[in-house]
Chains A and B, each alone.
Chain A
Amino acid sequence: MSTNKKEKSTLKQPEKQIKRRNFLKTGLQAAGFLSLASVAGYFGLKKPDFEHPAKNPYELGLDSIGKIAKEKFCDVSVSMLKIPFETSKALAVDKDDNIYVSGDKSILILTKEGNNITQFDTDITATALAISNINIIYAAFENHIATYTNSGELLKEWPSFKKESYITSLVINGSKIFIADAELEVVHEYDTDGTYHRSIGSKDKKQADSFILPSYFFDVALAPDNTLWAANTGKHKLVSFNSDGKLSTYWGETSAAVEDFCGCCNPSHFAIMHDGSFITAEKGIVRVKKYNSAGKFECAIAGPDHFETSSTGLEIAINSKNDILVLEPAVRKIHIFKI
């Protein structure tokens, strides 16, 4: 399409104009190239800096919360027993230190070394276990209680409580048995043969001796002096009752600090050692801690790093040698801490 004939004359401009235009032109060129160069420089010479990533201005420093300072740990030796259950609920030990675990609709009895003695099936998984001095197994199944021999045959089915009752813990005191009912938010006091005495914990939530239990975590235990202790998890307190069921003492503070209890329904479980000091287990921030008999924090036994983050319901039992048995259902293990 192009052709090659002589070119027609073009108009000539005065010198000045040309100069100016050339000047302008070069200037513009320079500018353009500079801008390009700077862009290129930015992309080409920009080194990805992973050392100092952008911080989140709204960071909520959670990582620090779970952490427990090294010096706050007591020196314990840890061992472990594996248990076969997908889901295990209750843990107990008898006077010969045999271990009773309920899970997967059965009750398993192990020697303290963890060897299988017997295992027998139940209609539903027992929600609480207690072993009498004559080795009778008291097992709670949500809203009723049954007793078995340690070889597994059923002795007696108690008449069930209120249908919606949910028993989370049992403790035997000689001829009496205390039954923690998380649904009714009271502790029933029965004779071991099944006759009802009284219910501890008033219905009126204004009262100091009322239990506030947002969820099914409600543990009871017996101190060496046979006073009944219960976990008022909604108030983050441990409360004790005298022999006629009146509130006597309590302790426990609310905060995320290691000395106190926080989150929902803590301490979810606890047990009392032979010297009267308390072992508490918490969920949310999963940790097991030791308090002296006056409720003063002594030391942490195991922190969140020791357990699955998701672990709830760390059942605790103390055997005759003051070993602390902690059932961690999530990993099918019983941790044994020796202090």
Chain B
Amino acid sequence: MAKLKYILSSFLLTVIYQLGNAQRFPAPEFESGHIPPKTQTIAPRGLGWEYLDVIVLFLALSIMTWFVLKKRSRKGIFWTSIFSIVYFGIIRVGCVCSVGSIGNVTLSLFQADYVIPVTVIAFFVLPLIFTLLFGRTFCAGVCFMGAVQDLVNIKPVSLPSWISKPLSAIPYIYLTLALLLAASGADFIICRYDPFIGFFRMNAPFGMLVFGAAILILGIFVGRPYCRFLCPYGVLLSWMSKISFWHTTITPTACIQCKLCDSSCPIDAIDKPVNMNTETDGKGRNRLISLIILLPLFIFLGGFLSSLLYKPLSTIHPTVKLAEEIKWETENNKKTESEESKTFHASGIQISQLFTDAGHVQTIFYAGTWLGGSLLGLFFGISLLRTSVVRRQTDYEPNRGNCVSCGKCYKYCPVQKQVAEVSPKTDGV
């Protein structure tokens, strides 16, 4: 790969190089004493911003957490999210965001020659740690994508779980794909297909604008469609949140079963009370057992099926794409007029060299698809299992995995009101 990269160079410029850097036209001496101007370059963007971003991120997270867990104030959460839209979205135009940083971190893990800025690592890690401690307060509104969707979600409609459950498998697939592509150095799809960035840039490929708009319009009714059904970072966060040390609750103290919050959650992340002993005999247990037995099969199938796709997937990688083209040329004994092929032939690299490079890439994809696929299989198996498992639950509680601590349910809880009236200083945890 590296070899390919450094040999590739423009034909015309190699021409100049062959001239041994001898200039065709020497610099003139002006009798009129005209002084040639300096080449104008704008000073490169200062580092200050990048580190400021990290600090702001940290502060925003802390404040958000405070509002969520201590103050339990939806207003506070709302305004913090507005702030992050303004700062991270409009002022800093959204790059780099924590969601996208997955790509950079993965690449830094897998590609030897890629150095990753510390700030990007910070962006990746801070939300994870916060979530592991306090739940998904990042999603509540520090993430400007979430915030935007929260903003537009005017008429929330609750989706029946038989729609939302299968859809929520997409982030896993997306994440796996993103990791694979980033690790192989092919692309950062998360960043490339970020639906909202276009709005903040006021500039985007047409397709992306349409996609973004569609998601926003959908978001008017369906709460946070991107967060729930696409966001790959959300997967990691939900894992963290599930085992977080602290997490927000609907009610400040004890639930009084008033059912008022029942449909208050725009993203259906409230677990309703369940009393056990409800399934008809045997069925459940047998299914459970059979599913547990089937789990390895799921894993294998997942791996196998996705490994079937490694070739088409690998063509996303430029090297393989080029190799495909050159192979086609060698088979049909003609030249495709594409820039790629022109550049390749001008570079004078051995075709065999290109093919071996492509081979290495495909090997990565082959292994990657197997691994990722089997993981997907595992997730599928587990989520099936969880549909056959019941946990007794007496109160209305946020589902720790899915709840984004947006605090919209607070105001529905009468207890909260009382507490608020009794003592404005409420204790959330």
Interface residues of A (CB under 8 A from B): 1-8, 25, 28, 32, 43-44, 48, 50-51, 53-56, 205, 214-215, 263-265, 283-284, 308-310, 312, 330
In the complex, whether B48 has a CB less than 8 A from a CB of chain A is no
- B389 touching A1, Cβ below 8 Å: yes
Question: How distant is A113 from chain B, measured CB to nearest CB, in Å?
Answer: 31
In the complex, whether B421 has a CB less than 8 A from a CB of chain A is no
Write 17 A-B pairs (CB below 8 A) sorted by A numbering.
A2-B279, A2-B389, A3-B277, A3-B279, A3-B285, A4-B279, A7-B280, A8-B278, A25-B162, A48-B315, A50-B338, A205-B31, A215-B23, A215-B25, A263-B24, A284-B24, A312-B24
In the complex, whether B163 has a CB less than 8 A from a CB of chain A is yes
Question: How distant is A90 from chain B, measured CB to nearest CB, in Å?
Answer: 17
Expressed in whole angstroms, the Cα–Cα distance for A244 and B283 within the complex equals 118
| Secondary structure type dominating chain A contacts | loop
Q: For residues 313 through 346 of chain B, which have their beta carbon under 8 Å from a beta carbon of chain A?
A: 315, 324-325, 328-329, 336-341
Expressed in whole angstroms, the Cα–Cα distance for A309 and B346 within the complex equals 12
Expressed in whole angstroms, the Cα–Cα distance for A48 and B311 within the complex equals 13
- A5 touching B15, Cβ below 8 Å: no
Question: How distant is A265 from chain B, measured CB to nearest CB, in Å?
Answer: 8
Interface residues of B (CB under 8 A from A): 15, 18-19, 22-26, 28, 31, 162-163, 166, 276-285, 288, 312, 315, 324-325, 328-329, 336-341, 388-391
Within 8 Å by CB of B277, from A6, A263, A265, lies A6
| Secondary structure type dominating chain B contacts | loop
Expressed in whole angstroms, the Cα–Cα distance for A25 and B160 within the complex equals 10
Excluding A6-B280, A308-B18, 12 further A-B contacts by CB distance (< 8 Å) are A2-B288, A2-B390, A4-B281, A8-B278, A44-B312, A48-B325, A50-B338, A215-B26, A264-B24, A309-B15, A310-B15, A330-B18
Expressed in whole angstroms, the Cα–Cα distance for A283 and B15 within the complex equals 12
Q: Please give, as numbers and ranges, the residues of chain B lying within 8 Å of A309 by CB-CB distance.
A: 15, 18
Question: How distant is A164 from chain B, measured CB to nearest CB, in Å?
Answer: 11
Q: Please give, as numbers and ranges, the residues of chain B lying within 8 Å of A48 by CB-CB distance.
A: 315, 324-325, 328
CB nearest to B329 among chain A residues: A50
Expressed in whole angstroms, the Cα–Cα distance for A32 and B166 within the complex equals 10
Q: Please give, as numbers and ranges, the residues of chain A lying within 8 Å of B25 by CB-CB distance.
A: 214-215, 264-265
Question: How distant is B34 from chain A, measured CB to nearest CB, in Å?
Answer: 14
- A3 touching B339, Cβ below 8 Å: no
Given A1-B391, A263-B24, answer yes or no on A50-B328 (Cβ-Cβ < 8 Å).
Answer: yes
- A3 touching B284, Cβ below 8 Å: yes
Given A43-B312, A264-B25, A309-B15, answer yes or no on A53-B338 (Cβ-Cβ < 8 Å).
Answer: yes
Q: Please give, as numbers and ranges, the residues of chain A lying within 8 Å of B337 by CB-CB distance.
A: 53, 55
Expressed in whole angstroms, the Cα–Cα distance for A278 and B329 within the complex equals 44
Q: Please give, as numbers and ranges, the residues of chain B lying within 8 Å of A43 by CB-CB distance.
A: 312
Given A50-B338, A310-B15, answer yes or no on A4-B390 (Cβ-Cβ < 8 Å).
Answer: no
Q: Please give, as numbers and ranges, the residues of chain B lying within 8 Å of A308 by CB-CB distance.
A: 18
Expressed in whole angstroms, the Cα–Cα distance for A258 and B130 within the complex equals 72
CB nearest to A51 among chain B residues: B336
Q: Please give, as numbers and ranges, the residues of chain B lying within 8 Å of A54 by CB-CB distance.
A: 338
Q: Please give, as numbers and ranges, the residues of chain B lying within 8 Å of A8 by CB-CB distance.
A: 278
- B19 touching A312, Cβ below 8 Å: yes
Within 8 Å by CB of B279, from A7, A215, A310, A312, lies A7
Expressed in whole angstroms, the Cα–Cα distance for A312 and B389 within the complex equals 82
- B388 touching A2, Cβ below 8 Å: yes
Q: Please give, as numbers and ranges, the residues of chain B lying within 8 Å of A263 by CB-CB distance.
A: 24
Within 8 Å by CB of B280, from A4, A264, A330, lies A4
Expressed in whole angstroms, the Cα–Cα distance for A53 and B325 within the complex equals 10
Given A48-B324, A53-B338, answer yes or no on A1-B390 (Cβ-Cβ < 8 Å).
Answer: yes
Q: Please give, as numbers and ranges, the residues of chain A lying within 8 Å of B18 by CB-CB distance.
A: 308-310, 330
Question: How distant is A12 from chain B, measured CB to nearest CB, in Å?
Answer: 17
CB nearest to A63 among chain B residues: B342
- B336 touching A4, Cβ below 8 Å: no
CB nearest to B18 among chain A residues: A310
Q: Please give, as numbers and ranges, the residues of chain A lying within 8 Å of B15 by CB-CB distance.
A: 309-310
Expressed in whole angstroms, the Cα–Cα distance for A263 and B283 within the complex equals 87
Q: Please give, as numbers and ranges, the residues of chain A lying within 8 Å of B166 by CB-CB distance.
A: 32
Q: Please give, as numbers and ranges, the residues of chain B lying within 8 Å of A7 by CB-CB distance.
A: 278-280
Question: How distant is B272 from chain A, measured CB to nearest CB, in Å?
Answer: 14
- B338 touching A4, Cβ below 8 Å: no
Expressed in whole angstroms, the Cα–Cα distance for A48 and B341 within the complex equals 14
Expressed in whole angstroms, the Cα–Cα distance for A265 and B18 within the complex equals 19
Q: Please give, as numbers and ranges, the residues of chain B lying within 8 Å of A6 by CB-CB distance.
A: 277, 280-281
- A5 touching B336, Cβ below 8 Å: no
CB nearest to B23 among chain A residues: A215
Expressed in whole angstroms, the Cα–Cα distance for A148 and B280 within the complex equals 116
Question: How distant is B228 from chain A, measured CB to nearest CB, in Å?
Answer: 15
Q: Please give, as numbers and ranges, the residues of chain B lying within 8 Å of A214 by CB-CB distance.
A: 25-26, 28
Given A53-B337, A214-B26, answer yes or no on A4-B328 (Cβ-Cβ < 8 Å).
Answer: no
Given A1-B389, A43-B312, answer yes or no on A310-B19 (Cβ-Cβ < 8 Å).
Answer: yes
CB nearest to B327 among chain A residues: A50
Expressed in whole angstroms, the Cα–Cα distance for A309 and B277 within the complex equals 86
- B26 touching A3, Cβ below 8 Å: no
CB nearest to B326 among chain A residues: A50
Within 8 Å by CB of B325, from A4, A50, A310, lies A50
Question: How distant is B174 from chain A, measured CB to nearest CB, in Å?
Answer: 13
The 10 nearest A-B residue pairs measured at CB: A53-B338, A5-B277, A310-B18, A2-B284, A4-B281, A50-B336, A50-B328, A264-B24, A264-B25, A214-B25
Q: Please give, as numbers and ranges, the residues of chain B lying within 8 Å of A205 by CB-CB distance.
A: 31
Q: Please give, as numbers and ranges, the residues of chain B lying within 8 Å of A265 by CB-CB distance.
A: 24-25
Question: How distant is A86 from chain B, measured CB to nearest CB, in Å?
Answer: 11
Q: Please give, as numbers and ranges, the residues of chain B lying within 8 Å of A330 by CB-CB distance.
A: 18
CB nearest to B31 among chain A residues: A205
Expressed in whole angstroms, the Cα–Cα distance for A265 and B26 within the complex equals 11
Given A215-B24, A264-B25, A310-B19, answer yes or no on A4-B391 (Cβ-Cβ < 8 Å).
Answer: no
Q: Please give, as numbers and ranges, the residues of chain B lying within 8 Å of A264 by CB-CB distance.
A: 24-25
CB nearest to B315 among chain A residues: A48
CB nearest to B277 among chain A residues: A5
Question: How distant is A60 from chain B, measured CB to nearest CB, in Å?
Answer: 11
Q: Please give, as numbers and ranges, the residues of chain B lying within 8 Å of A284 by CB-CB distance.
A: 24
Expressed in whole angstroms, the Cα–Cα distance for A153 and B129 within the complex equals 86
CB nearest to B337 among chain A residues: A53
Question: How distant is B157 from chain A, measured CB to nearest CB, in Å?
Answer: 12
- A53 touching B336, Cβ below 8 Å: yes
Question: How distant is A264 from chain B, measured CB to nearest CB, in Å?
Answer: 5
